[in-house]
Amino acid sequence: MKTDIQSRTAPDMAAFRSGVERAKIATCFVHQGGTDLYAYAKNGKSEQALHRLNSITKSLLALLIGIALERGELDSLDAPVAAWLPGVPEDKRAITLRHLITMTDGLDWPEWGDWDGQPTPMYDSPNWVAFVLGRLVKAPPGAAMAYNSGCSQLLSAVLQRATGLTAEAYAARHLFAPLGIEDWLWLSDTQGIVIGGFGLSLRGRDLFKLGLLMLRRGLWEGRQLVPAAWIDRITAPLHHTYDHVGSYGYHWWIYTGGTSEPASPRTYFAMGYGGQYLFVVPERELVVSFTSHLYHKTFMPLHLFAETFLPGVPHSSTPR
């Protein structure tokens, strides 16, 4: 007998499978109501490959920040960045960790504008942290959210200072090992600071594990890897800047379906350039992950997810 959750939300998996295969998605995994519904890899190479997650890296970094707060290695999100990083200019001393994790730093950072979606000037610079801290102040910290991979790089630098470990080493100890993730690649900048905004590569199935961890509010095999309250906190909508994507929390997106209000059922997700996605719908006990190489159709998996698993919920008209 189907549970109430399953009967109310039974997706058209045949159409979904067809859509995944037509889109040439590399890997896709679906879990609902305690059951793995779908496990797909385009081929054996895709199944074993380490896939570049791009900005999903940011969402995993948010988990590490929560762990560090719980362990007391970071005192508070309201601590100024200058408490951890040397050489912060006077006009940036009001920026806190909270501003970084919500991307409300107020810096002039046209990543989703003149820079065409990528922080090329930062990674072409000899010192990424110095580049971020050298940007002009455009607005008071906390006034508005604007997408900024530089915030994530500063967070990675702070985490390294606070813990004595790079974000990679910290993740290996506190997340990857207990989750059984044995293989990954996480790049660093020229100063040896792990890239906080887009440097991580994982196997598709291991990305899916992170989704299951989120669904279980940080609990894995009887061990609380991430505080449950932190999972709730980082996935709550705080700022709405981009209708075509959704609202923003703490380095996690909240689905709005192209409107300014969160969709129902509540759906949050991590997103990376080129079609990397991790969706969680707690009310429906649903996790869906995608790794892709859709660099000219980066929103296609988002639309495929919404049409299949959120029927009747509006979704953005963003080109596929």
User: How is the chain split into domains, by residue range?
Assistant: 1-49+203-320, 56-183
pLDDT tens sequence for the chain (320 residues): 334 444 455 789 999 999 999 998 999 999 999 999 999 999 999 999 999 999 999 999 999 999 999 999 999 999 999 999 999 999 999 999 999 999 999 999 999 999 999 999 999 999 999 999 999 999 999 999 999 999 999 999 999 999 999 999 999 999 999 999 999 999 999 999 999 999 999 999 999 999 999 999 999 999 999 999 999 999 999 999 999 999 999 999 999 998 999 999 999 999 999 999 999 999 999 999 999 999 999 999 999 999 999 987 776 555 44
**Helix 300-309 crosses helix 13-22 at what angle (to 10 degrees)?**
170
Q: Do domains 1-49+203-320 and 56-183 have the same CATH topology?
A: yes
Class of domain 1-49+203-320: alpha beta
Class of domain 56-183: alpha beta
Give the predicted TM-score (pTM) of the model.
Answer: 0.95
Q: Which long-range contacts (CB under 8 A, 24 or more apart) does 94-97 make?
A: 94/140, 94/141, 95/141, 96/141, 97/65, 97/155, 97/158
C-alpha R_g of the chain: 19
Per-residue model confidence (pLDDT) at position 319: 47
d(CA 113, CA 274): 17
CB count in 10 Å sphere of residue 49 = 18
Per-residue model confidence (pLDDT) at position 315: 64
Would you list the DSSP string of the chain? ---HHHHHH---HHHHHHHHHHTT-SEEEEEETTEEEEEEESSHHHHHS-EE-TTHHHHHHHHHHHHHHHHTSS--TTSBGGGTSTT--GGGTT-BHHHHHTT---B---TTTTTTTS-HHHHTSS-HHHHHHTSPB-S-TTS-----HHHHHHHHHHHHHHHSS-HHHHHIIIIIHHHT----EE-B-TTSPBPTTT-EEE-HHHHHHHHHHHHTTTEETTEESS-HHHHHHHTS--EEEETTTEEESSS-EE--TTSSS--SS--EEEEETTTEEEEEEGGGTEEEEEE---TT-TTHHHHHHHHHHSTTS-------
Per-residue model confidence (pLDDT) at position 316: 58
